[in-house]
Structure 1
């Protein structure tokens, strides 16, 4: 005597199964895979950079980025708003970060000579020294994790592609 198969064994797919298959197919799309690869690479670099800078310099990677932006300002200072935009942090997150950096003696806040409504953030001597040490750590991580895995002949293409993404005017 044969037992007839249940609907679940051979019948039509259940809505849950169909939905899961559609989701898996959508997740396998090239655009999602490729962007995911870029984001995973960036996250891996960021984690390595953060761990090394904390261990060797006492700075988080985000603090290093603030000091980098301040170094590029050639001592003139940068507003917290510009820091927030450059770091993609909220204004509150930037304020808390600058507060911690100020308490650590890495930065100071000064009124803008051009507009008294604006407060500028400037690196202190201690912050500048920490930045100099951190640039060595940064360079070593970039060399080991970003440059070495890519063939020298491929680096210009990689950098051009990254520049095209960063400079793309599309919102």
Structure 2
């Protein structure tokens, strides 16, 4: 008997497993929502979803600048990628770079007044998209269970972080 058809059957079963399907649904849903958010932010605020994520980190603690290194780590971007992103945001007048008072080698990134205004508009757009595509499709109990489950997964992953 030829082993190749048996391996093909095993591979087909593995590809069609419930775990593969269920995780695929999570990734597809998250990707589609992220694309909707990005499209809405670009159309209504002139920024990308990644720029919005930068603003979240910059605006979380008013008056505290954030290093580009920290942004790169938080956003899982390369050093060069975050530099190019901050360059574009700075050219658009949304952020400014300032020397760190604690470390002369570091540069802090801070939102400008215009950047904070754009972020506030973007936060409302983001909330509308999240409400429409993440919250509204579920009844309240299912939404509460989903977010509690996602929190549990997040905590479990943090506890077992291999780094």
Q: Which residue of 2 aligns with 1:146?
A: 134
Of 79, 82, 99, the residue aligned with 2:67 is 79
Of 42, 52, 57, the residue aligned with 1:54 is 42
Partners of 1:106 and 1:156 lie apart in 2 by: 35
Partners of 2:25 and 2:115 lie apart in 1 by: 34
Q: Which runs of 5+ in 2 are unaligned?
A: none
Helix, strand or coil for the counterpart of 1:154? Answer: helix
- Once the 2 structures are TM-superposed, how far is the Cα of residue 13 of structure 1 from its aligned partner? 5.5
Count of matched residue positions in the alignment of Structure 1 and Structure 2: 159
Per residue, is there more helix in 1 or in 2?
2
- Once the 2 structures are TM-superposed, how far is the Cα of residue 93 of structure 1 from its aligned partner? 1.1
Helix, strand or coil for the counterpart of 1:48? Answer: helix
Q: Does 1:130 align with 2:118?
A: yes
Q: Which runs of 5+ in 1 are unaligned?
A: 1-11
Helix, strand or coil for the counterpart of 2:141? Answer: coil
State how 1:7-156 maps to structure 2 within 5 Å: 12=1, 15=4, 17-156=5-144
- Once the 2 structures are TM-superposed, how far is the Cα of residue 133 of structure 1 from its aligned partner? 0.6
Partners of 2:128 and 2:89 lie apart in 1 by: 24
Partners of 2:6 and 2:61 lie apart in 1 by: 55
TM-score calculated relative to the size of structure 2: 0.91
- Once the 2 structures are TM-superposed, how far is the Cα of residue 78 of structure 1 from its aligned partner? 0.8
Helix, strand or coil for the counterpart of 1:153? Answer: helix
Helix, strand or coil for the counterpart of 2:140? Answer: coil
Partners of 2:18 and 2:105 lie apart in 1 by: 48
Per-residue displacement from partner, 1:100-153 (whole Å, max 9, x unpaired)?
Answer: 111111111111111222111110111111101101101110110000011111
